Protein backbone atom coordinates (compact mmCIF):
# COMPACT_ATOMS: atom_id res chain seq x y z
CA UNK A 1 0.00 0.00 0.00
CA UNK A 2 1.14 3.47 -0.76
CA UNK A 3 1.12 5.32 2.57
CA UNK A 4 1.36 8.75 0.97
CA UNK A 5 -2.37 9.37 1.22
CA UNK A 6 -2.57 8.64 4.93
CA UNK A 7 -1.13 12.11 5.56
CA UNK A 8 -4.07 14.21 6.66
CA UNK A 9 -4.25 17.94 6.54
CA UNK A 10 -7.16 20.30 6.16
CA UNK A 11 -4.96 22.45 3.97
CA UNK A 12 -4.23 20.58 0.77
CA UNK A 13 -2.45 23.52 -0.83
CA UNK A 14 -1.09 26.65 0.78
CA UNK A 15 0.61 29.27 -1.37
CA UNK A 16 2.41 32.09 0.37
CA UNK A 17 3.75 35.07 -1.56
CA UNK A 18 4.28 33.16 -4.81
CA UNK A 19 6.16 35.10 -7.47
CA UNK A 20 7.31 33.93 -10.85
CA UNK A 21 9.44 35.73 -13.42
CA UNK A 22 10.12 34.34 -16.88
CA UNK A 23 13.53 35.34 -18.18
CA UNK A 24 13.38 36.65 -21.72
CA UNK A 25 15.96 36.37 -24.49
CA UNK A 26 18.74 38.92 -25.03
CA UNK A 27 18.54 40.34 -21.53
CA UNK A 28 15.14 42.01 -22.05
CA UNK A 29 13.00 42.77 -18.99
CA UNK A 30 11.78 39.69 -17.14
CA UNK A 31 8.10 38.86 -17.47
CA UNK A 32 6.72 38.88 -13.96
CA UNK A 33 3.81 36.50 -14.43
CA UNK A 34 2.98 36.13 -10.71
CA UNK A 35 3.47 38.85 -8.12
CA UNK A 36 2.78 37.67 -4.58
CA UNK A 37 -0.05 35.12 -4.68
CA UNK A 38 -1.44 33.82 -1.37
CA UNK A 39 -4.06 31.08 -1.70
CA UNK A 40 -5.28 28.14 0.34
CA UNK A 41 -7.38 25.17 -0.78
CA UNK A 42 -8.76 22.92 1.94
CA UNK A 43 -9.71 19.25 1.67
CA UNK A 44 -12.61 18.54 -0.67
CA UNK A 45 -13.01 22.19 -1.77
CA UNK A 46 -12.84 23.45 -5.28
CA UNK A 47 -11.23 26.82 -5.99
CA UNK A 48 -11.89 28.57 -9.29
CA UNK A 49 -9.11 30.72 -10.71
CA UNK A 50 -10.41 33.30 -13.16
CA UNK A 51 -8.94 36.25 -15.04
CA UNK A 52 -8.26 37.42 -18.58
CA UNK A 53 -5.78 35.70 -20.87
CA UNK A 54 -2.21 36.44 -19.71
CA UNK A 55 -3.19 37.08 -16.06
CA UNK A 56 -1.01 34.19 -14.87
CA UNK A 57 -3.56 31.41 -14.35
CA UNK A 58 -1.63 28.67 -16.16
CA UNK A 59 1.64 29.75 -14.58
CA UNK A 60 0.07 29.40 -11.13
CA UNK A 61 -1.37 25.99 -12.06
CA UNK A 62 2.09 24.81 -13.15
CA UNK A 63 3.65 26.09 -9.92
CA UNK A 64 1.08 24.15 -7.87
CA UNK A 65 1.69 20.91 -9.79
CA UNK A 66 5.47 21.34 -9.56
CA UNK A 67 6.00 21.66 -13.32
CA UNK A 68 7.47 25.10 -12.62
CA UNK A 69 9.56 26.30 -9.68
CA UNK A 70 8.38 29.67 -8.34
CA UNK A 71 11.04 32.40 -8.20
CA UNK A 72 9.78 33.40 -4.75
CA UNK A 73 7.39 32.36 -2.00
CA UNK A 74 6.49 28.96 -0.62
CA UNK A 75 4.25 26.12 -1.75
CA UNK A 76 2.95 23.70 0.87
CA UNK A 77 1.19 20.52 -0.18
CA UNK A 78 -0.57 18.59 2.60
CA UNK A 79 1.26 20.68 5.18
CA UNK A 80 4.75 20.07 3.75
CA UNK A 81 6.84 22.73 2.02
CA UNK A 82 7.65 21.50 -1.49
CA UNK A 83 9.14 24.53 -3.27
CA UNK A 84 12.82 25.39 -3.72
CA UNK A 85 15.20 22.87 -2.15
CA UNK A 86 12.27 20.68 -1.12
CA UNK A 87 10.98 20.28 -4.67
CA UNK A 88 11.79 16.57 -4.67
CA UNK A 89 9.81 15.96 -1.49
CA UNK A 90 6.51 16.07 -3.33
CA UNK A 91 4.34 13.06 -2.67
CA UNK A 92 4.13 11.24 -6.01
CA UNK A 93 0.64 11.33 -7.46
CA UNK A 94 -0.84 13.62 -4.80
CA UNK A 95 -1.32 16.44 -7.33
CA UNK A 96 -2.50 15.70 -10.88
CA UNK A 97 -3.15 17.99 -13.81
CA UNK A 98 -5.76 18.08 -16.56
CA UNK A 99 -4.88 20.29 -19.53
CA UNK A 100 -6.91 22.33 -21.98
CA UNK A 101 -5.88 20.30 -25.03
CA UNK A 102 -6.52 16.67 -24.07
CA UNK A 103 -5.17 15.15 -27.28
CA UNK A 104 -1.75 16.73 -26.80
CA UNK A 105 -1.53 15.35 -23.26
CA UNK A 106 -1.85 11.70 -24.33
CA UNK A 107 1.12 9.83 -25.83
CA UNK A 108 0.01 9.13 -29.44
CA UNK A 109 2.21 6.03 -29.70
CA UNK A 110 0.57 4.13 -26.84
CA UNK A 111 -2.80 2.38 -26.77
CA UNK A 112 -5.08 4.32 -24.41
CA UNK A 113 -4.90 1.75 -21.64
CA UNK A 114 -1.10 1.95 -21.58
CA UNK A 115 -1.15 5.75 -21.66
CA UNK A 116 -3.18 5.58 -18.45
CA UNK A 117 -1.16 2.73 -16.92
CA UNK A 118 2.31 4.15 -17.50
CA UNK A 119 2.25 6.99 -14.93
CA UNK A 120 0.58 4.62 -12.48
CA UNK A 121 3.36 2.10 -12.89
CA UNK A 122 6.00 4.81 -12.44
CA UNK A 123 4.24 5.99 -9.26
CA UNK A 124 4.19 2.46 -7.85
CA UNK A 125 0.44 1.96 -8.22
CA UNK A 126 -1.38 -1.03 -9.65
CA UNK A 127 -1.43 -0.72 -13.43
CA UNK A 128 -3.05 -3.99 -14.53
CA UNK A 129 -5.37 -3.91 -17.52
CA UNK A 130 -8.42 -4.76 -15.46
CA UNK A 131 -7.78 -1.81 -13.12
CA UNK A 132 -7.49 0.46 -16.15
CA UNK A 133 -10.78 -0.91 -17.51
CA UNK A 134 -12.50 0.11 -14.27
CA UNK A 135 -11.06 3.62 -14.63
CA UNK A 136 -12.20 3.85 -18.26
CA UNK A 137 -15.65 2.73 -17.20
CA UNK A 138 -15.82 5.37 -14.45
CA UNK A 139 -14.84 7.99 -17.01
CA UNK A 140 -17.78 6.98 -19.20
CA UNK A 141 -15.75 5.02 -21.78
CA UNK A 142 -16.08 1.28 -22.35
CA UNK A 143 -13.02 -0.93 -21.91
CA UNK A 144 -12.83 -1.31 -25.73
CA UNK A 145 -11.44 2.23 -25.82
CA UNK A 146 -8.36 0.91 -24.01
CA UNK A 147 -7.14 -0.66 -27.26
CA UNK A 148 -7.56 2.51 -29.32
CA UNK A 149 -5.12 5.37 -29.88
CA UNK A 150 -5.56 9.09 -29.16
CA UNK A 151 -6.05 9.97 -32.84
CA UNK A 152 -9.06 7.63 -33.02
CA UNK A 153 -10.89 9.47 -30.22
CA UNK A 154 -12.90 12.71 -30.21
CA UNK A 155 -11.75 15.67 -28.10
CA UNK A 156 -14.32 14.86 -25.42
CA UNK A 157 -13.24 11.19 -25.33
CA UNK A 158 -9.59 12.26 -25.03
CA UNK A 159 -10.52 14.48 -22.09
CA UNK A 160 -12.26 11.51 -20.46
CA UNK A 161 -9.01 9.55 -20.85
CA UNK A 162 -7.04 12.44 -19.30
CA UNK A 163 -9.52 12.54 -16.41
CA UNK A 164 -9.26 8.75 -15.92
CA UNK A 165 -5.49 9.09 -15.79
CA UNK A 166 -5.66 12.03 -13.36
CA UNK A 167 -7.93 10.26 -10.86
CA UNK A 168 -6.13 6.90 -11.07
CA UNK A 169 -3.63 7.63 -8.29
CA UNK A 170 -6.38 9.04 -6.05
CA UNK A 171 -4.80 12.50 -5.90
CA UNK A 172 -5.54 14.96 -3.11
CA UNK A 173 -5.66 17.77 -5.64
CA UNK A 174 -6.47 18.03 -9.33
CA UNK A 175 -5.36 21.15 -11.18
CA UNK A 176 -7.63 21.50 -14.21
CA UNK A 177 -6.48 24.22 -16.62
CA UNK A 178 -9.41 25.24 -18.87
CA UNK A 179 -10.50 21.56 -19.05
CA UNK A 180 -13.54 22.20 -21.25
CA UNK A 181 -12.53 25.32 -23.21
CA UNK A 182 -11.32 23.37 -26.25
CA UNK A 183 -14.43 21.16 -26.43
CA UNK A 184 -17.70 21.58 -28.30
CA UNK A 185 -20.35 23.24 -26.15
CA UNK A 186 -22.49 20.09 -26.23
CA UNK A 187 -19.58 18.05 -24.81
CA UNK A 188 -18.55 20.63 -22.21
CA UNK A 189 -21.52 19.88 -19.95
CA UNK A 190 -20.83 16.12 -20.05
CA UNK A 191 -17.21 16.60 -19.03
CA UNK A 192 -18.14 19.09 -16.32
CA UNK A 193 -20.68 16.61 -14.96
CA UNK A 194 -18.04 13.87 -14.91
CA UNK A 195 -15.69 16.14 -12.95
CA UNK A 196 -18.52 17.11 -10.62
CA UNK A 197 -19.26 13.41 -9.93
CA UNK A 198 -15.59 12.84 -9.09
CA UNK A 199 -15.61 15.87 -6.83
CA UNK A 200 -18.73 14.69 -5.00
CA UNK A 201 -17.71 11.05 -4.66
CA UNK A 202 -14.15 11.67 -3.42
CA UNK A 203 -12.48 14.18 -1.13
CA UNK A 204 -10.30 15.42 -3.97
CA UNK A 205 -9.77 19.19 -4.02
CA UNK A 206 -9.68 21.11 -7.29
CA UNK A 207 -7.85 24.14 -8.58
CA UNK A 208 -10.13 24.86 -11.50
CA UNK A 209 -8.79 27.37 -14.01
CA UNK A 210 -11.32 28.95 -16.33
CA UNK A 211 -12.11 32.23 -18.04
CA UNK A 212 -15.80 31.24 -18.05
CA UNK A 213 -17.56 32.52 -14.94
CA UNK A 214 -20.65 30.41 -15.67
CA UNK A 215 -18.52 27.24 -15.55
CA UNK A 216 -16.84 28.39 -12.34
CA UNK A 217 -20.23 29.09 -10.78
CA UNK A 218 -21.34 25.53 -11.57
CA UNK A 219 -18.19 23.86 -10.33
CA UNK A 220 -16.39 25.88 -7.65
CA UNK A 221 -17.02 26.50 -3.94
CA UNK A 222 -14.60 29.43 -3.87
CA UNK A 223 -13.14 31.74 -6.44
CA UNK A 224 -10.00 33.87 -6.80
CA UNK A 225 -9.75 36.58 -9.46
CA UNK A 226 -6.31 37.08 -10.95
CA UNK A 227 -5.14 40.25 -12.73
CA UNK A 228 -1.55 40.81 -13.83
CA UNK A 229 -0.34 37.99 -11.60
CA UNK A 230 -2.09 39.24 -8.47
CA UNK A 231 -5.24 38.06 -6.71
CA UNK A 232 -7.66 40.99 -6.81
CA UNK A 233 -10.62 39.39 -5.07
CA UNK A 234 -11.42 36.10 -3.39
CA UNK A 235 -14.24 34.51 -1.44
CA UNK A 236 -17.09 32.06 -1.85
CA UNK A 237 -18.24 31.72 -5.46
CA UNK A 238 -21.84 32.55 -4.64
CA UNK A 239 -20.90 35.75 -2.80
CA UNK A 240 -18.31 36.92 -5.32
CA UNK A 241 -20.35 36.23 -8.44
CA UNK A 242 -23.66 37.58 -7.15
CA UNK A 243 -22.15 40.53 -5.30
CA UNK A 244 -18.69 41.28 -6.71
CA UNK A 245 -16.84 44.01 -4.83
CA UNK A 246 -13.66 44.64 -6.81
CA UNK A 247 -14.20 46.88 -9.88
CA UNK A 248 -12.37 44.30 -12.04
CA UNK A 249 -14.60 41.44 -10.88
CA UNK A 250 -17.65 43.66 -11.48
CA UNK A 251 -16.52 44.23 -15.04
CA UNK A 252 -15.85 40.50 -15.62
CA UNK A 253 -19.21 39.50 -14.13
CA UNK A 254 -21.07 42.13 -16.12
CA UNK A 255 -19.63 40.62 -19.32
CA UNK A 256 -21.23 37.25 -18.48
CA UNK A 257 -24.85 37.07 -19.74
CA UNK A 258 -25.93 34.81 -16.88
CA UNK A 259 -24.38 36.99 -14.18
CA UNK A 260 -24.95 40.47 -15.57
CA UNK A 261 -28.15 41.40 -13.73
CA UNK A 262 -27.09 39.89 -10.41
CA UNK A 263 -23.67 41.49 -10.55
CA UNK A 264 -24.20 45.07 -11.59
CA UNK A 265 -27.35 45.42 -13.68
CA UNK A 266 -25.36 47.13 -16.42
CA UNK A 267 -22.57 46.14 -18.74
CA UNK A 268 -19.20 47.59 -17.70
CA UNK A 269 -16.84 47.87 -20.65
CA UNK A 270 -13.20 47.25 -19.74
CA UNK A 271 -11.24 49.98 -21.48
CA UNK A 272 -8.05 49.05 -23.34
CA UNK A 273 -5.92 45.96 -23.06
CA UNK A 274 -4.46 44.42 -19.89
CA UNK A 275 -1.05 46.00 -19.18
CA UNK A 276 2.08 44.05 -20.08
CA UNK A 277 3.59 42.15 -17.14
CA UNK A 278 7.10 43.41 -17.98
CA UNK A 279 5.94 47.01 -17.46
CA UNK A 280 3.22 47.03 -14.78
CA UNK A 281 1.42 50.25 -13.79
CA UNK A 282 2.37 51.95 -10.52
CA UNK A 283 0.04 51.77 -7.52
CA UNK A 284 -2.98 49.56 -8.13
CA UNK A 285 -2.22 47.44 -11.21
CA UNK A 286 -5.84 47.87 -12.37
CA UNK A 287 -6.10 51.68 -12.03
CA UNK A 288 -5.72 52.48 -15.75
CA UNK A 289 -8.87 50.54 -16.63
CA UNK A 290 -10.89 51.14 -13.48
CA UNK A 291 -14.39 52.64 -13.65
CA UNK A 292 -14.32 53.36 -9.90
CA UNK A 293 -10.97 55.19 -9.85
CA UNK A 294 -10.68 57.18 -6.63
CA UNK A 295 -7.71 59.48 -7.30
CA UNK A 296 -3.96 59.69 -6.71
CA UNK A 297 -3.98 56.94 -4.08
CA UNK A 298 -4.82 54.46 -6.87
CA UNK A 299 -1.87 55.52 -9.04
CA UNK A 300 0.58 55.80 -6.14
CA UNK A 301 -0.13 53.14 -3.53
CA UNK A 302 -0.57 49.40 -4.21
CA UNK A 303 -3.63 48.37 -2.19
CA UNK A 304 -3.49 45.34 0.14
CA UNK A 305 -6.37 42.86 0.38
CA UNK A 306 -9.17 44.33 2.51
CA UNK A 307 -12.17 42.47 3.96
CA UNK A 308 -15.44 43.06 2.08
CA UNK A 309 -19.05 41.85 2.28
CA UNK A 310 -18.17 39.04 -0.18
CA UNK A 311 -14.71 38.00 1.03
CA UNK A 312 -11.69 40.19 0.39
CA UNK A 313 -10.62 42.57 -2.35
CA UNK A 314 -7.42 44.40 -3.28
CA UNK A 315 -8.98 47.86 -3.64
CA UNK A 316 -8.66 51.18 -1.80
CA UNK A 317 -12.46 51.52 -1.75
CA UNK A 318 -12.46 49.02 1.12
CA UNK A 319 -9.77 50.66 3.24
CA UNK A 320 -11.17 51.08 6.76
CA UNK A 321 -12.12 54.71 7.36
CA UNK A 322 -9.39 55.92 9.67
CA UNK A 323 -10.89 59.39 10.18
CA UNK A 324 -13.56 58.21 12.65
P1 LIG B 1 -3.07 32.74 -18.50
O2 LIG B 1 -3.05 31.27 -18.30
O3 LIG B 1 -3.87 33.49 -17.45
O4 LIG B 1 -3.52 33.15 -19.87
P5 LIG B 1 -0.17 32.56 -18.37
O6 LIG B 1 0.14 32.05 -17.02
O7 LIG B 1 -0.11 31.61 -19.50
O8 LIG B 1 -1.59 33.32 -18.34
O9 LIG B 1 0.83 33.77 -18.71
C10 LIG B 1 1.10 34.83 -17.80
C11 LIG B 1 2.13 35.77 -18.41
O12 LIG B 1 3.38 35.09 -18.49
C13 LIG B 1 1.79 36.24 -19.81
O14 LIG B 1 2.24 37.56 -19.96
C15 LIG B 1 2.61 35.29 -20.68
O16 LIG B 1 2.92 35.91 -21.90
C17 LIG B 1 3.84 35.06 -19.84
N18 LIG B 1 4.45 33.73 -20.07
C19 LIG B 1 3.85 32.53 -19.90
N20 LIG B 1 4.70 31.52 -20.17
C21 LIG B 1 5.88 32.11 -20.53
C22 LIG B 1 7.18 31.62 -20.93
N23 LIG B 1 7.42 30.30 -21.00
N24 LIG B 1 8.14 32.54 -21.21
C25 LIG B 1 7.90 33.86 -21.14
N26 LIG B 1 6.72 34.38 -20.76
C27 LIG B 1 5.72 33.53 -20.46
MG1 LIG C 1 -3.71 29.70 -19.51
DSSP 267: P
When divided into structural domains, the chain yields a total of 1
Q: Which of 39, 33, 73 is nearest to 53 (CA)?
A: 33
Residue 240 inside a domain? The answer is: yes
On the 0-12 / 13-18 / 19+ scale of CB atoms within 10 A, 101 is middle
Which residue has the CA at smallest separation from atom 22 of ligand 1?
22
Quote the crossing angle between the two packed helices 155-168 and 112-122, to the nearest 10°: 20
Name 64's Cβ contacts closer than 8 Å, sequence gap at least 6: 13, 15, 75, 95, 173, 175, 207
Of the listed ligands, the closest to the CA of 99 is 2
Cα radius of gyration (the chain): 21
Burial level of 238, CB count in 10 A (0-12/13-18/19+)?
A: middle
Closest C-alpha to 22, from 229, 275, 176:
229
Question: What are the Cα distances from residue 12, in Å, to 39, 42, 173?
Answer: 11, 5, 7
Residue 53 lies in a domain: yes
Closest ligand to C-alpha of residue 59 is 1
Expressed in angstroms and rounded, the spacing between residue 54 Cα and the centre of ligand 2 is 7
Pocket test for ligand 1, best of 22, 64, 232 (most atoms within 8 A of CB): 22
In the DSSP assignment, the letter for residue 317 is: G
Q: Which domain holds residue 70?
A: 2-94+171-318
List the chain pLDDT tens, one digit each, 324 residues: 444 444 444 899 999 999 999 988 777 788 999 999 999 999 999 999 999 999 999 999 999 999 999 999 999 999 989 877 776 667 777 899 999 998 998 999 999 999 999 888 887 888 899 999 999 999 999 999 999 999 999 999 999 999 999 998 889 999 999 999 999 988 999 999 999 999 999 989 999 999 899 899 999 999 999 999 999 999 999 999 999 999 999 999 988 877 766 656 788 888 888 888 888 999 999 999 999 999 999 999 999 999 999 999 999 999 998 655
Confidence (pTM): 0.92
- Say if 85 falls within a structural domain: yes
| DSSP letter assigned to residue 224 | E
Q: How many CB atoms lie within 10 A of CB 2?
A: 14
Q: How far is the CA of 301 from the centre of ligand 2 (A)?
A: 29
Q: Is residue 148 one of the residues assigned to a domain?
A: no
Instruction: Tell me, in angstroms, the distance from the centre of ligand 1 to residue 22's CA.
Output: 8
Query: Which ligand has the shortest distance to the CA of 101?
Result: 2
The residue contributing the CA closest to ligand 1 atom 25 is 22
In a domain, 7, yes or no: yes
46-50 and 31-42 as β-strands: parallel, antiparallel, unpaired?
A: unpaired
Residue 78 forms part of a structural domain: yes
Q: Which residue, 268, 292, 286, is CA-closest to 230?
A: 286
Say which CATH number the domain at 60 has. Answer: 3.40.50.300
Distance 18 CA to ligand 2 centre (A): 17
Amino acid sequence: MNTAHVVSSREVVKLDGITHSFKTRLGGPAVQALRGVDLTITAGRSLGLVGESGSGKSTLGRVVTGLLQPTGGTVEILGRPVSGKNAMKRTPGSVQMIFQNPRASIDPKLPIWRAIAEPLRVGGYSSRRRDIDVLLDQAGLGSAYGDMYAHQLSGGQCQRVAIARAVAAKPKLIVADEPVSALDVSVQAQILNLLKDIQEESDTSFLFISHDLGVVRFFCDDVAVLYLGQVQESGSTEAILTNPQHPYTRALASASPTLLSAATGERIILAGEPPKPDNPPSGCVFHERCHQYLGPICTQTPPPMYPTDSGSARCHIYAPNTSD
